[in-house]
């Protein structure tokens, strides 16, 4: 699957990525007054671990993950979590929270000495694991998403893109060693 002929675009009025499948959740709130979008945090996720496809990520981010459906689900701490965007293995984009709102993806976090990354960041999940290579289409689509975000939000810059492991060291490891940062940064 190649990058779409038309570049991806964010509708700044709604905070939605045009062309993404919308699975909007109520697991978000307003950003604090004066908080702009200044950081992109890249994550990975698979539910159950190392299994791809299926409804479980949508169910997690919308608060409808049945704990009895898989033994791993019972180990996930209760709580409300979300992200702005998921990039599936085959390149499908799924949006859960408008970019203008605060998603709950980074948890306790800090970037360059500034705490509470959820307040000023966009969370982008890649369907994957720390140790399995990501798909070519995921790099292509991630580059398109980041370019769209940079165009829509002048407060963002290419220098302020971090992994979850960078903003929550010791607590989080994603996007993991399998994520090719040099390749991704060169693509921008």
Among 30, 125, 135, 159, which one carries the catalytic annotation?
125
> If we measure between CA atoms, which residue out of 90, 114, 94, 107 comes closest to residue 36?
114
Cβ(163)–Cβ(42) below 8 Å = yes
Half-sphere exposure of 170 (CA within 13 A, CB side): 3
Q: Hey, what are 3's tokens? A: 């990058």
Q: Is 30 an annotated catalytic residue?
A: no
Cβ(51)–Cβ(123) below 8 Å = no
Cis before 175 (ω within 30): yes
Neighbours of 16 (CB within 10 A): 19
Cβ(45)–Cβ(125) below 8 Å = yes
Cα(187)–Cα(50) distance, integer angstroms = 26
Residues involved in catalysis: 125
């Amino acid at each position: 699957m190649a990058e779409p002929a038309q570049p991806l675009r964010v509708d700044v009025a709604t905070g939605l990525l045009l062309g993404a499948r919308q699975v909007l959740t109520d697991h978000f709130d307003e950003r604090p007054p004066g908080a702009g979008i200044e950081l992109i945090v890249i994550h990975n996720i698979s539910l159950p671990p190392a299994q791809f496809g299926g409804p479980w990520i949508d169910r997690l981010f919308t608060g409808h993950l049945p704990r009895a459906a898989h033994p791993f689900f019972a180990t996930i701490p209760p709580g409300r979590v979300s992200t702005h965007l998921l990039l599936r293995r085959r390149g499908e984009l799924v949006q859960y929270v408008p970019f203008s709102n605060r998603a709950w993806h980074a948890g306790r976090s800090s970037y360059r000495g500034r705490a509470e990354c959820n307040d000023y960041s966009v969370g982008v999940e890649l369907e994957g694991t720390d140790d399995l290579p990501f798909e070519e289409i995921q790099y292509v689509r991630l580059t398109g998403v980041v370019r769209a975000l940079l165009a829509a939000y002048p407060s963002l810059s290419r220098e302020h893109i971090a992994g979850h492991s960078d903003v929550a060291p010791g607590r989080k490891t994603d996007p993991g060693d399998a994520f090719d940062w040099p390749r991704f940064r060169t693509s921008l």
